[in-house]
Amino acid sequence: MTRQKRLGRGLAALLGDPTDETAEVELQEEATETVPFRPRLAESDFTEEASQKKDSSRIALDQIDRNPFQPRHHFDDAEITSLAESLKEHDILQPIVVRQVGDRFQLISGERRLRAAGIAGWDSIPALVREADDRLVAELAIVENLQRQDLNPLEKAISFQRYLEQHDATQSELADRIKVDRSTIANLVRLLDLPDAVKSSIHAGELSQGHARALLPLGEEEIQNEFAKRIAKDGWSVRATEQAVQDFLNGEEPAIATTPAKKGSRTKSQQVVSLEEDLRMALGTKVDIKQATKGGKIVIHFKNADEFDRLNEYLLADTEEDRRAA
């Protein structure tokens, strides 16, 4: 199953499946009458419902507050302006989705349409009113934005981390709720461990998510910063970056190294080097395998308490799940 299909199923799981007969519901005609935001109501249902005017009502723009769980902080002005022109010419094809909070409404889905409506000079916009708690709104915001290719990976990471903290959830629990691989969440959240300078380069589009992930095993901020500068300056590909990082961690001296490679270190077999690389990619940090005449040891590096907690949770995840199942 492709990643896009998995994400689509995640959205369907939150909002429902249009092929499920149990997803049918009679919507109230009054604008302020809410309909439960059922876990089996799909976003595609909204499009079908929007074709029937009785299923949506117009709500004044100044009565709608932004979604506080929206991961996206940067919107393309040109794209919003283009959408506004489309609204003027063709009207809106799909209403936004809101929930009622007190005597006002809070956006659940449709941030770009809401912004475009304001630019188009509209006073109100078609909307469907649903009931949803904070947790469900946060999950929907995550799923909806995961499917957008232009969303900054750090914005995704921040939305994941915020959810985990606010709802005291584990990465496994969130992965199950939004129907994505746990590794998708883990790999994005790890980006928050990078130095501020590197994260700024990601925001600026100078580094991709692949570049950023390749820098994680380096561990030390100074070295990560130097690698990031070289990537931005010379336009290194993700593959070239991964190779440079691997060379550096293997004791060789790539062109970007800020410190000379260690001399006189014992040469490691290709098998050991390969195992170290597998562990680095899995754990997102530097890992050393040190062999002795008999036995040896595996050294897992961490730079602060937060990274230790992340590694501890990752390594004990299966044990904890087994314990709960027992």
Q: Which residues have CB under 8 Å from 305's CB, separation 6+?
A: none
The catalytic residue among 49, 111, 139, 242 is 111
Q: Which residues have CB under 8 Å from 73's CB, separation 6+?
A: 155
Q: Which residues have CB under 8 Å from 102's CB, separation 6+?
A: none
Active site residue 253: no
Task: Write the Ramachandran bin of 102: left for phi over 0, alpha for psi from -120 to 50, otherwise beta.
Answer: left
Alpha-carbon gap, residue 230 to 237, rounded angstroms = 11
Extract the tokens encoding 39.
């876990």
What phi, psi does 36 have (nearest 5°)?
Answer: -50, 135
Tell me how long the chain is.
326
For residue 192, the SS3 value is: helix
Q: Which residues are catalytic?
A: 111
